[in-house]
Structure 1
């Protein structure tokens, strides 16, 4: 029999107060013995984490004796957690749900009642999350409480059928989630089927009335799988069948308003998640707008959604993430908006030279990723045809002697004029700006006078037969060697000097752009800042007109850029800084309206102020929404941080980036190829379009295949080797190669046999792997065996009140705590990477008690705010050097943007098949600034029967192989084949 837990409880202030007691007297929780606190670790860890996370319903008592818990918090505890706090046991009665009539009838109610094992109804009085029956109190589990709330919501919406449907959808969902509980359910409810829409896109079409669109919906699972794999969501993965989608489109278009629920078929319904309803309302409103407004909406729905969510109360700093969560650019959406001309890819003139020849071999236009060659004799006639078509309102013009067409736009005319003026020495063709035509374009800025052009001429190579990069460019200045930027106050390391030298040389010889793809932790930001500082000084020296620099970065890295500037740049080395994001945006708007360029169809920002900036810091979302304003500014240099964000060649964000006017562009990424070789092609199509001789995307992918190692090695050589004293288009250096002053990184793979409970659970999970059919079933089976390889009870709440027993059930946890004990004895610091939030919470509490720490170890996970992240990092980094400390992190939430060099140990408690993710985590500690050796531990649970065929061993093998391959060739970190490869190996381990 378990000893009585040293806790008591009482109903108070609409909730329950839990407090520590000794001999019926309240005492401070800290006065309990460590063993007593550890016995309640399952519950105390959850409560303490909730308080730290700022979750509502959890309050620490001021006297330190315990906590006040709201009803929801009491109900959220599982039986083991509740028992460890001596709270009442789980309610032993069944909850029955019955409808009093047809659910569509306004008089119908959903009745929830409690019944004993014989089916007899029992009288229950509910109070503060507890069920009182006679003199006894019971705790109502969270899922049963959710059913009661859903019944109440259904009953409160008697007069509105749509709202009743929405309430019924929620009721149905919570009933399914509570499938393991004792519930009696009305047959009407059982027969209903709801599909839950968690995110949306639009299906774009064109008819005589102009552009039209209908909403399409996706489940949370599809969205999460695409996010996890880094893939674009396919429209074919939508939540509805084609027939259902067709019927829904009719309902939606003819309805007066967007509804929370739609009838799909008899007994089948679509439930719209509340988080995306504002976006759906915008789609409904825009369907009724003019043809011009519909076109603007279809071009960039995110911009319109952004405006609505701001009105819903979200701040400028929150809204971009909300929009990302609400709307997805599917493969079909991106392709369609370009296909129908809603988003016109940038048009650039090019010349093509034969290898080793300076005289142009041919001319043409690059339209997006497509290259159209035009005979020299046809350039002027084609320009005249385009000018005429613009005036007459035609859509496009045929290119003589080919099957190709050119858009009848001013952009196309400007590009042709650039070739006429600069190479053929022929006066430009003039045309009205479209004012008299049937298809005018929005005015962006004053256009150049005849005889002028601001179009950059691309130098296109088409030399697949050559294995080297041989493009020729017009030099900007003579390059004589590295020049130290005077305004950089930080002493650059040797590899950083080489990096800045490479940037200076690439700019000097005339490159349009380059890719800085150094390993994480080598100081890419500092190198780019040093280059921009040098460039501003250099341009002034050689008499070039000063222009602002533009830095485009993910939202999470904006603060990092500002802090890096403060740390490394002195005085006004970069000039006046402009923050063009978040709340700061309003300072530069031409009107009080928050509507961006994409909605207004014109410039909405103060170009004069922006052009006066020394450098502008903005986000990818702002770049997309204000593409006309930013596209009207000539930048001396544009830096794209984490450039893989624009790796999709058809995304609106990529098109916006390619439409910017930058004399020189620098891409920055530690992962130049994430999921496909198409990633690297798209990055270079933005940085130096057409110049690499890689052909169009299709030709590129046909030449460089994943099953051809020689081709992949030649691609790496082509991009990373200097040729004829011309710098490489890309540099990718690993810490092991260049950071010679870094201390040693010691990697240890630790294998341990699974304890009995884990080994038994593993065999059961392996059977589900063998039986899995279809992608979803396979993924579920994979995650199950992956979870059990961490802990046999991964899918349930942690079961044992004794932490040592819980640790003893997991091979990896045994290894982890043995390592932590050693690190504790040495008074050193350690990072522990683990995905499971429940495991993080439990570890934080257990570590505090086990090692008698003065505070709970810090945690950084997906919901950790930017402010909290900064605080946690600062506390960890500034704590005394000879002092044991642990920081617990989620791999994907903490893999970038953090410097944690106080740690000299890194434990990977859970792993993923992408080595780049794992290496980025390690690089939080092993990076520039680290002065001590770092030991990295990879923990593996080995099944006593399957040995090297165990999940952890197979995964470790895969990661080792991928790392080795990536050193010699360019290849994606994830190919999409890993799941099948892992499952095949697991199945073969049984036979």
Structure 2
């Protein structure tokens, strides 16, 4: 092959001929894979055949775009082996021509005041292969340019001029040609890079929409914008920007029993806490908020104007955030305010303290939160659907365990929810009914659907408390045949250092406003495992991947709509979101709204009037809410599925609750009596102080367990136990359990008492080792091993001591048939 003229000249062409070794020309004519010569036909081997096919179009003059596209095609087929019989000048051998036909965007910076991004280019071949395989494109592995060339293009060549060029000369014989259809979109990208920050922010959140608006529908259709703009990093449509974290401020109202319009009590929910706002203080708090807002202050001084919502509630804050939520919340209380003399000059707060650095530095994606009104409800929730039959859902071939009948119903419900286009669902089965195996079967079914090209192929994300991540890995291995769900990526704890982007320098997303984890690490994975805390700290990284499924195990962790972890969860992007919990309502009905607004945003309306529409003392309203959640909608499955063990399992033994009353021993009774007397005296004298009653209640709890601090317990633990009614009774109960060779769980909050009790039980019953303890100090991965050891020896006496918080979530402890709440 010989080049005639330069590649940037219209007269460029290739002279191609067949020669014998040594260079003697041969009269030959290719026909398919054969070369017809005077001596007979010869087979053309690879890679010579493909190279000749790629060179043939260049033997004649081509229009510029066709020429560069053909040169790029030629370079793709140029063999790397220098020993192959190909003669050409060094100019052709060293020539590197890239033909870009698609683009994506790489987000470099996303902070409250700065948005930066660069284009990443792809060849038609890479896009086509990704489409055929069902895999997402990888920005580095599939980019048309090597990392060094990409940096040169994005940071220098592309930014040199205000508009996109048809060809970019990189270095050392490397050329980048832009497909004519791609140039208009790339031109928009270049112009937006120099636009004001507000336009750059709007663009990066929905680039395809902005490009279409700039080009117009006609040109966008002409260049096939949907095909040439490739999504590799895409935020959910729910994401509206990024800002420093400020605790949301929401109104709450307790309806009056006397009339239907004046509330009995009302106040503000700030972050996770509730505070009462006396009617007489509404005007003053409103004024202080407005003054701070006019001055551009982030918060306002409200010291002494709020009250605890409950006797044992937290102390009211001295300052509250100034934002649209707080102003709207106060505006809703205006009709209930007790207005004083309008001519009285209002008190102006003093200088506002500097924003707390520890909080101010945390950056969070801003989402449409549905607090005041429903401003985000994805397709599939509010639209009218026609009733039509959905196909049966069979257990997937990967599943090697046999599903119980109610678990088959659960899989069918999940499959139909996905087929109906639902954004998500809440599986709220009672504990012990196998929510995990239903979710695993659903994941295997989704992968079967993806292999059949009925759903996009994408990784799954499982978010769970730390102690349950090991359980998920174990259960997947137990219930599925190889290759199970594919590569499993642990994205938590020490594993994070293996996933970091090389430029992250060990920072968390919420500290920098940019992704610190490289999403390429899980783009081709089957399952990604992470914790709620990791999700919160690295939600920028997770939010840029569109997962095929996100599972929130123990989703009651998201029961507070104003928490940071709930905000992070709402920023994520998924084809389908599955929430799992045995307790959808823990404290307030608002818990249910918060959970449902993650799995099915907008379905239960706005937060502001949710409890007003469903007061807890109105059985009819609660019945309507239950019907809304659990009844089918025009042949479509309900959004929530909840079954109790007694409803679906036959032969369940009856649970018997034994409330045992026992008088305190003299030493314990005396200590308890002294506490009560001192507290009553301090209260009568007005000396109890701020938080004094809470301290007294905590001391009463401690003495009711034992009058002597367990850290000061004597060596004679039997004598120590005799001074506590609860410890003495526990040992009596355990005597009967040991006699029957059965197992028991003891729930106990005090860590020091856990240690003393473990030693006492080991000595009293002659155990070879102390009873296992699971509390917050035990790492999550170790908890599952302890559970398995406890479960492994049926028919023998054993005890496990657990903290209610650490042991009450997601552990499968079926070997014990006695539970002692100490």
Q: Could you state the TM-score of these two structures normalised by the residue count of structure 1? A: 0.45
Aligned counterpart in structure 1 of residue 479 of structure 2, from 532, 549, 568: 568
* CA drift at 1:715: 1.9
The alignment status of 1:788 with 2:703, answered yes or no, reads yes
- Seen in structure 2, the aligned counterparts of structure 1 residues 676 and 894 have a Cα distance that, compared at 3 Å, is same
The within-5 A match list for 1:421-432 is none
1:631 aligns with 2:653: no
Q: Of the candidates 808, 815, 820, which is equivalent to residue 895 of structure 1?
A: 808
Instruction: Quote how far apart the aligned CAs of 1:900 are.
Output: 2.6
Aligned-residue offset at 1:491? 1.4
Which residue of 2 is the match for residue 739 of structure 1? 649
Deviation string, structure 1 residues 32-51 (Cα, Å, up to 9, x no partner): xxxxxxxxxxxxxxxxxxxx
Match of 1:120 in 2: none
In the TM superposition, residue 513 of structure 1 has moved relative to its aligned partner by 0.9
Aligned equivalent of 2:580 = 668
Give the drift of 1:610: 3.1
Q: Please identify the structure whose Cα radius of gyration is greater.
A: 2
| Corresponding position of 2:759 | 845
Partner of 2:797: 884
SS for the counterpart of 2:595 is helix
1:750 corresponds, among 660, 670, 679, to 660
**Aligned equivalents of 2:770, 2:386: Cα separation in 1:** 60
Mapped partners of 2:763, 2:367: distance in 1: 60
Give 1:516 shift. 1.0
Structure 1 residue 528 displacement after superposition: 0.8
CA drift of 1:759 comes to: 3.9
- The within-5 A match list for 1:925-936 is none
| Matched residue SS, 1:749 | coil
The answer to whether residue 568 in structure 2 is matched with residue 504 in structure 1 is: no
Match of 1:299 in 2: 363
Alignment of 1:642-653 (within 5 A): 642-653=554-565
1:345 pairs with one of 367, 387, 390: 367
- Rate the CA distance shift 1:756–1:856 in 2: closer, same or farther, 3 A: same
Structure-2 separation of matches of 1:871 and 1:549: 25
Question: Which residue, 590, 594, 598 being the options, matches 1:682?
Answer: 594
CA displacement 1:469-519 (0-9 Å, x = unmatched)? xx64589x9623331121111112222222212111211222211111122
- Following superposition, the deviation at residue 702 of structure 1 comes to 0.9
Specify the SS of the correspondent of 2:472: helix
**Mapping of 1:89-168 within 5 angstroms?**
none
Cα displacement (A) at 1:774: 7.2
Distance verdict in 2 for CA 1:768–1:696, change over 3 Å: farther
2:811 partner SS: coil
Q: CA deviation at 1:533?
A: 0.7
The aligned residue for residue 328 of structure 2 is none
Alpha-carbon separation, structure 2, partners of 1:754 and 1:501:
54
The structure 2 residue matched to 1:858, chosen from 767, 772, 775, is: 772
3-state SS of 1:892 partner: helix
Shift of 1:769: 6.2
Structure 2 residue matching 1:698: 3-state secondary structure:
coil
Residues 589/710 of structure 1: CA separation in 2 closer, same or farther (3 Å cut): same
Cα pair 1:830 1:885 within 8 Å, conserved: yes
Distance 1:480 1:871, change over 3 A: closer
Q: CA deviation at 1:849?
A: 2.2
Q: In structure 2, do the counterparts of structure 1 residues 825 and 460 end up closer, same or farther at CA, with 3 Å as the change threshold?
A: closer
Query: Any conservation in 1 of the 2:614–2:625 contact (CA below 8 Å)?
Result: yes
User: Retained in 2: the 8 A contact 1:369–1:685?
Assistant: no
Q: How does 1:535-934 map to 2 (within 5 A)?
A: 535-541=446-452, 543-593=454-504, 594-691=506-603, 694-740=604-650, 742-767=652-677, 772=683, 776-791=691-706, 793-795=707-709, 802-866=716-780, 868-879=782-793, 881-909=794-822
1:358-414 CA deviation, whole Å, 9 max, x = no partner?
Answer: xxxxxxxxx6445478xxxxxxxxxxxxxxxxxxxxxxxxxxxxxxxxxxxxxxxxx
Is contact 2:470-2:781 (8 Å) kept? Answer: no
CA–CA separation in structure 2 for the residues paired with 1:609 and 1:758: 58
Q: Matches of 1:774 and 1:735 in 2, distance apart?
A: 48
* TM-fit CA distance, 1:723: 4.3
Offset at 1:211? 8.7
Q: Is the 8 A contact 1:597 1:603 kept in 2?
A: yes
Alignment partner of 2:608: what SS?
helix
Matches within 5 A, 1:311-322: none
Whether the aligned pair in 1 keeps the contact of 2:535 and 2:568 (CA below 8 Å) is: yes
CA distance in 2 between partners of 1:481 and 1:460 (Å): 22
Alignment gaps of 5+ in structure 2: 1-288, 321-346
Determine if contact 2:370/2:607 at 8 Å carries over to the other structure. Answer: no
Q: CA deviation at 1:237?
A: 8.9
Measured in 1, the distance between the counterparts of 2:374 and 2:623 equals 29
Distance 1:835 1:903 in 2: 19
Task: Measure the CA separation in 1 of the matches of 2:783 and 2:550.
Answer: 28
CA separation of 1:530/1:741 partners in 2, compared to 1, >3 Å: closer, same or farther?
farther
The aligned length equals 497
Give the match's secondary structure for 1:827.
Answer: coil
Deviation readout 1:158-192 (Å, 9 max, x if unpaired): xxxxxxxxxxxxxxxxxxxxxxxxxxxxxxxxxxx
The answer to whether the 8 Å contact 2:468/2:780 transfers is: no
| Alpha carbons 2:292, 2:300 under 8 Å: kept | no
Range 563-572 or range 707-716, more displaced: 707-716
Three-state SS of the structure 2 residue aligned to 1:458 is coil
Q: What SS is found at the alignment partner of 1:638?
A: strand
- Report how far residue 893 of structure 1 moved: 2.4
Per-residue deviation, 1:575: 2.5
- The 8 Å contact of residues 545 and 573 in structure 2, kept in 1 or not, is answered as yes
Distance 1:837 1:298 in 2: 32
Could you tell me how far apart the structure 1 residues matched to 2:401 and 2:532 are?
29
Q: CA RMSD in A?
A: 4.1
What TM-score, normalized to structure 2? Answer: 0.54
**Contact 1:459–1:690 (CA<8 Å) still a contact in 2?**
no
Q: Distance in 2 between matches of 1:587 and 1:214?
A: 43
In structure 1, what is the Cα distance between the partners aligned to 2:422 and 2:301? Answer: 43
Change (3 A) 1:817 1:625: closer
Query: SS where residue 748 of structure 1 aligns?
Result: coil
- CA distance in 1 between counterparts of 2:511 and 2:698 reads 43
In structure 2, what is the Cα distance between the partners aligned to 1:735 and 1:795?
Answer: 40
5+ residue gaps, structure 1, are: 1-202, 254-279, 287-293, 301-342, 347-366, 374-414, 416-455, 462-470, 910-991
- Residue 906 of structure 1 deviates from its aligned partner by 1.6
Say which SS state the counterpart of residue 659 (structure 2) adopts.
strand
Native 8 Å contact 2:470 2:784 kept in 1? no
- Measured in 2, the distance between the counterparts of 1:907 and 1:237 equals 43
Question: Which position in structure 1 is the counterpart of 2:438?
Answer: 527
Change (3 A) 1:863 1:216: farther
Once the two structures are superposed, residues 701-743 of structure 1 have per-residue CA deviations (whole angstroms, 9 ceiling, x without a partner) of 1122233343233322321233443322112222232233544
The whole-number CA distance in structure 2 between the counterparts of 1:210 and 1:246 is 14
Post-superposition offset of 1:591: 1.9
Q: Does the CA contact (< 8 Å) of 1:635 and 1:662 recur in 2?
A: yes
